[in-house]
Amino acid sequence: MLKIFSTSLVFRSAAIVLCIALLAGAVSSGISYMVLAQKERDLHHVRVNELLSTVEDTIKIACYLNDKNLAAEVARGMLKNHFISQVMIKNETNILAQVGDTKEGLQVLGDGQVIRQVTSPFNSQEVVCKIILDLNPLVIQKSVAERSLLVVYLLLMQAVVVACSVVVMVFKLITQPIKNISDRLHHLSAELGAKLNIPSGHQHDEIGRLVDDVNALLNRLVMILDDERNLRIQRGIDEKKFRAIFENAETGIFVVDRFGRLYSYNRAFARVLGLEDISLKPQSNKMLQEYMGEAAAKCSELIELSLRENRGVSEDIFVSFLVEKENKWISLVLNPIEEDMLQGLLNDISDRKRVEESTRKLAVTLREAKLAADKANQTKSDFLANMSHEIRTPLNAILGFSALLLDTELNPQQRDFLESINTGGDALLSQINDLLDFSKIEAGKLELEYIDFDLRRSIEESLELVAAKAIEKKLELVGLVDPSVPWRLNGDPVRLRQIILNLLNNAIKFSTAGPVLIRVRAQAVYHEQYQLHIEVEDHGIGLDAEVKAILFQPFSQADASTTRRFGGTGLGLSICKRLAEAMGGKIDVISEPNKGSIFWFEIILNRAKVQVLAPTLPLSLKGKRVLIVDDLY
């Protein structure tokens, strides 16, 4: 608190004015209280006299008749007034009545007593008795306090209001202007400076702060003079440097007003516009539009747009000159720098436009070539699909009739010929089916169906279809289905069987010894979906890294002799890859040369919509032990 009073004139002024106002209010309140107390006492005396005048006749009779009861009755009635504490009525010989608080020496007159002499009703000169009233000073003081308290409060409030008003006036008229000046000088003190002496007694208040800021301002003025001189020198250096950059820039730079009058430009500006004799000194009579040929109107439009929207604009403009000069493309950039002035950049982009035009024409040519190639590819796919159907129809007739002929009586030579025809027809039909499936996939017409099926039965049926070929090559077929695989799933069993058959046929085709195994396991990936993992393992010729890299591409096989040795179109694995991907999975191979191969694929299948209980063992077999012995390896 002491620190605030020592550092602020406002608080010191407020404290002094408030003390004076409170002192004046206290004096005024005391005087008011004394005046009101005297008035209140006089008022009570008047009321007592009025009361005595009212009962005087009754008391005269009581005193004349010496009637104590009547006197006591009158005294008790008078005592009902709260400002009277005691009443005594006495004649010359004795006391007729005395009620209220008893005091010794009541007969002695004082400030709180009223004595009234009562004369005879028959002789006004004869004193019959006296009435002595003792007034209650507490009642008088309370009444005075109640009446004077409001006045005291008003006086005190008036003193406070006066004090606050004086403080506000001092703050507004004196302190606030000084504070504003001080604040402004405080902000300027970062750039200006000087030294003044602080008046005695004002080291810590507003005046002291003002002097400090003025000192800082004057001190800074000396530094500004030096900085200004150094700035002029540096500005001259920078101007020369930027002028050199301006004049030697590869981009045309210029300054124009809203009408297009040129105020400044560099050599690149003249070079871009093909002007050899243009002066590099600003000439107010030179217009930018004069050098823009038929693009002058566009140039004026861009200037107006940039100033109206107060933003930079840029556009590529084709300038067609009226004189014998080469037409060119120009990149024009305008940026407002003042209310009616703009800075512009000019670049010759003719070479870039020529490259863009060539690129555009090349893109159009490539797009047309692509459309033609796509159309030719679609035509080829349609032709392949149609021819596959046309070839397969008579081929089915050939195979059908050859099968019928095999059921007739034939000599060994004829049967051998028919069996060769049947074998060749089967191979040709298989190739045609591959071509037809591949053409459907290429044409984007492959459709999958989603039905409930028994996966284990599909595996068994696939093994049965290739069993004859395995027996012919004396190979064992083994199917291992993990117990984690559900009995029924939902998907496309035909396409799944197609992948499995293709992998089994390849395993049998390229194997000379050892078993061919198919392993199946499943893993739940979502609540209603399973990831099915199927492997087909053989002990055939195997594959090296280079072959594996192109194995799943169309018309690809291990080497050129594979087709001659084993047959096939090279489409089977490519079709398997497309089918696996269509069913949300993938396919790959693990193999080494002469060590066999493991082809595996993963697909996503849904849980069967209709759940069927898995087949159970007969009661006669439950609890029995079975030993299976086989020379698998």
On whether both 301 and 377 belong to a single domain, the answer is: no
Q: Which residue has the higher pLDDT, 184 or 622?
A: 622
On whether both 50 and 11 belong to a single domain, the answer is: yes
The domain boundary residue, chosen from 415, 445, 475: 445
pLDDT classification of 387: cutoffs 50, 70, 90: low
Predicted pLDDT of residue 356: 85
Number of alpha helices (DSSP H) and beta strands (DSSP E) in the chain:
15, 16
On whether both 18 and 104 belong to a single domain, the answer is: yes
Q: How far is CA 511 from the centre of its chain?
A: 64
At 476, which CATH number?
3.30.565.10
Q: Quickly count: other Cβ atoms within 10 Å of residue 247's Cβ.
A: 13
The domain boundary residue, chosen from 320, 348, 376: 348
What six digits make up the tokens of 133? 């009233």
On whether both 537 and 579 belong to a single domain, the answer is: yes
Q: Which residue has the higher pLDDT, 599 or 321?
A: 599
On whether both 25 and 41 belong to a single domain, the answer is: yes
Q: Which residue has the higher pLDDT, 441 or 20?
A: 20
501: exposed, middle or buried (Cβ count in 10 Å: 0-12, 13-18, 19+): middle
At 357, which CATH number?
1.10.287.130
On whether both 438 and 483 belong to a single domain, the answer is: no
For residues 443 and 378, is the Cβ–Cβ distance under 8 A?
yes
On whether both 329 and 410 belong to a single domain, the answer is: no
Q: What percent of the chain has pLDDT over 70?
A: 72
Confidence check: pLDDT of 108 > 50: no
Look at the block and give the residue holding tokens 């070839």.
391
285: exposed, middle or buried (Cβ count in 10 Å: 0-12, 13-18, 19+): exposed
On whether both 463 and 584 belong to a single domain, the answer is: yes
Positions of E strands within 92-227: 95-100, 113-119, 127-135
At 62, which CATH number?
3.30.450
Of 502, 494, 514, the closest CA to residue 466 belongs to 502
Predicted pLDDT of residue 124: 67
What six digits make up the tokens of 389? 């159907």
Give me the amino acid identity at 382. D
Distance from C-alpha of 58 to C-alpha of 118, rounded to nearest angstrom: 10
Confidence check: pLDDT of 207 > 70: no
In this prediction, residues 42-60 reach a mean pLDDT of: 75
First and final C-alpha spacing in the chain: 105
In this prediction, residues 277-290 reach a mean pLDDT of: 62
Q: Is residue 202 part of a domain?
A: no
The CA-atom distances, in angstroms, between 103 and each of 22, 76, 95 are 42, 17, 15
Confidence check: pLDDT of 518 > 90: yes
Q: Is residue 491 part of a domain?
A: yes
Q: Is residue 236 part of a domain?
A: no
439: exposed, middle or buried (Cβ count in 10 Å: 0-12, 13-18, 19+): buried
Of 248, 250, 284, the closest CA to residue 264 belongs to 284
Q: Is residue 628 part of a domain?
A: no
Domain count, the chain: 4
Write down the mean pLDDT value for the chain. Answer: 76
CB neighbours of 322 closer than 8 A, spacing ≥ 6?
Answer: 293, 294
Of 444, 446, 599, 406, the closest CA to residue 508 belongs to 599
Confidence check: pLDDT of 97 > 90: no
Q: Is residue 233 part of a domain?
A: no
| 572: containing domain | 447-607
Predicted pLDDT of residue 168: 73
Report the range of poorest mean pLDDT among 265-279, 332-346, 509-523: 265-279
Q: Which residue has the higher pLDDT, 438 or 623?
A: 623
On whether both 25 and 143 belong to a single domain, the answer is: yes
Distance from C-alpha of 344 to C-alpha of 312, rounded to nearest angstrom: 9
What is the tens place of the pLDDT at every residue in 464-474? 888 888 888 88
pLDDT classification of 532: cutoffs 50, 70, 90: very high
3-state secondary structure of 451: strand
Quote the Cα angle for 165-166-172, to 5°: 90
Kind of pairing between the strands at 477-481 and 516-526: parallel
CB neighbours of 248 closer than 8 A, spacing ≥ 6?
Answer: 266, 267
Confidence check: pLDDT of 623 > 90: no
On whether both 413 and 557 belong to a single domain, the answer is: no
Confidence check: pLDDT of 218 > 70: no
On whether both 102 and 128 belong to a single domain, the answer is: yes
Confidence check: pLDDT of 350 > 70: yes
Q: Is residue 630 part of a domain?
A: no
Q: Quickly count: other Cβ atoms within 10 Å of residue 127's Cβ.
A: 14
Confidence check: pLDDT of 521 > 90: yes
For residues 543 and 558, is the Cβ–Cβ distance under 8 A?
yes
Q: Quickly count: other Cβ atoms within 10 Å of residue 547's Cβ.
A: 17
Predicted pLDDT of residue 599: 94
On whether both 344 and 393 belong to a single domain, the answer is: no
Q: Give buried/exposed letters for 405-434 (b at 16+ CB in 10 A, else e).
A: eeeeeeeeeeeeebeebbeebeeebbbbbb
For residues 516 and 478, is the Cβ–Cβ distance under 8 A?
yes
Segment holding 478, helix H or strand E = strand 477-481
Q: Is residue 627 part of a domain?
A: no
Q: Is residue 318 part of a domain?
A: yes
The domain boundary residue, chosen from 106, 129, 160: 160
What string of DSSP letters covers 534-552? EEEEE-SS---HHHHHHTT
